[in-house]
Structure 1
Amino acid sequence: MTSSIAESWARIEAWLVRHAPVTYANLAPPADPGSLAATEEVIGMTMPGPLAESLLLHDGTGLRTLLPSGWYLLSAEDIARTWSLRTEIAGSDADGIQDSTPSEFGPWWNRHWIPFASFGNGDDLVIDQFGRIGDASHETGCHFDAHPMWSSFPELFAHVAAALETGATLDRYEWVIDDGELDWEIL
């Protein structure tokens, strides 16, 4: 199902224009390449290509929901801020080397994770060094879901675009429109 990030964003944008114009109007403009470089300097890693490509199209979504179950995309600056805060809180516990096999719940934080979306409550979606998407809970640690939409950043965007276009449920969520804004409800 994987499409390029640019293709998925084009599909998502076209759908938002027709169905959720408030969400579309509030998408951030492209990130400045200098802000990506500054973020990479803070986190000490090169941004994965698909995440960088997404940020160069839209530097986050502000506090507007885009992903199921109500996640909003972080800007490059917010990625750096969130990574720094979590790394500071975790201290030396953030230094562990992550293994390549998904586990039910991992540590609370790992400095090799890059946060890219937030729920607004201290929980973040992250990309690990293997490209997997994890849900870094502020209470229980990080969980890497087996659902195919969470297997990579491109897969996530391709699944969201397809669900918006077809009205299909996505990992137990369906989209709803409230006053021109996209939201997701659990079934």
Structure 2
Amino acid sequence: MSGQQPDQGHIEARQVAQAWGRIEAWLAEHAPASFASLKAGASEEEIAALEDAIGVRVSDGVRALWRMHAGAESTAGAVFMLGNWALMGLDAVGAVYRERMLFQRQNEAEGYMAWKTPWIPVCSYTVTDTSYGLCVDGDSGTVWGWEEIAVVTPRFDSLTDYLEEMADALEAPGLVVGPMPGVARGALLWGEPSDPAVKDAWVPLA
């Protein structure tokens, strides 16, 4: 179960929804390909079914995000989250969670720390490549980055911080420290693309 207090969970859900609203409004106006990749929100029944399948209750912030959009379709515009990540669908979340927990159980005697029970994956390298990504700790709220071979790194203090930093960067790109957001063929991308064809079409915001 999540370690959040009820009031904290309510505040987190509201903050996540507000930050995401800013992001979605920007995508709708400036990055239509990325906006079009968003899936519909998940129902309470769908989220509850995932929780039953993995045996963990997700945090209120993650729940709020999934109510709005439960992942992205596998299209060219889907990898648009800050850091060039893709939102994961609920099926992928369940599969990655079970896979990482199994790896943890099989290797914990060797000293690996690949996953913890309250960690819920939310973003991955692409919609179909889930070997790397971001997960949210349901107890502390910390957003961790995971890699394919038992490497985890703290990235943000909370899901709210992650989404607010993304929204701020889109609204005020001149203040960005790090990869600059830009748009290529209607898709939001962070940092100059390495693909020459996409690089030629990419226009940085600032």
TM norm structure 1: 0.82
**Aligned partner (choices 31, 38, 44) of residue 27 of structure 1:** 38
- State how far apart, in whole Å, the 1-side matches of 2:50 and 2:94 are: 5
Amino acid at match of 1:178: A
Amino acid at match of 2:35: Y
- 1:157 alignment counterpart: 163
Identity of aligned residues (%): 23
| Unaligned runs of at least 5 residues, structure 2 | 1-11, 193-206
- Distance of aligned partners of 1:111 and 1:180 in 2 relative to their CA distance in 1, 3 Å threshold: same
- 1:80 alignment counterpart: 94
- 1:101 alignment counterpart: none
- In structure 2, the residue corresponding to 1:144 is in which secondary structure? strand
Deviation digits for residues 39-69 of structure 1 (CA, Å, limit 9, x no counterpart): 1112211110010000000011234123222
What is the aligned length?
A: 172
Q: Larger deviation: 157-166 or 116-125?
A: 116-125
- State how far apart, in whole Å, the 2-side matches of 1:83 and 1:115 are: 7
- 1:183 alignment counterpart: 189
**Aligned partner (choices 104, 123, 139) of residue 132 of structure 2:** 123
C-alpha RMSD of matched pairs (Å): 2.3
**Aligned partner (choices 12, 20, 23) of residue 12 of structure 1:** 23
Task: Tell which structure's C-alpha radius of gyration is larger.
Answer: 2
- 2:60 alignment counterpart: 49
| Unaligned runs of at least 5 residues, structure 1 | 96-105
- State how far apart, in whole Å, the 1-side matches of 2:177 and 2:151 are: 20
- 1:110 to 2:116 alignment: yes
Deviation digits for residues 148-184 of structure 1 (CA, Å, limit 9, x no counterpart): xx11001111111111111146562211111000111
Larger helix fraction of residues: 2
Which structure is higher in RCO with an 8 Å CA cutoff and minimum separation 6? 1
- Distance of aligned partners of 1:94 and 1:182 in 2 relative to their CA distance in 1, 3 Å threshold: farther
Amino acid at match of 1:54: L
TM norm structure 2: 0.75
- 1:167 alignment counterpart: 173
Moved over 3 A (4+): 92-95, 168-171
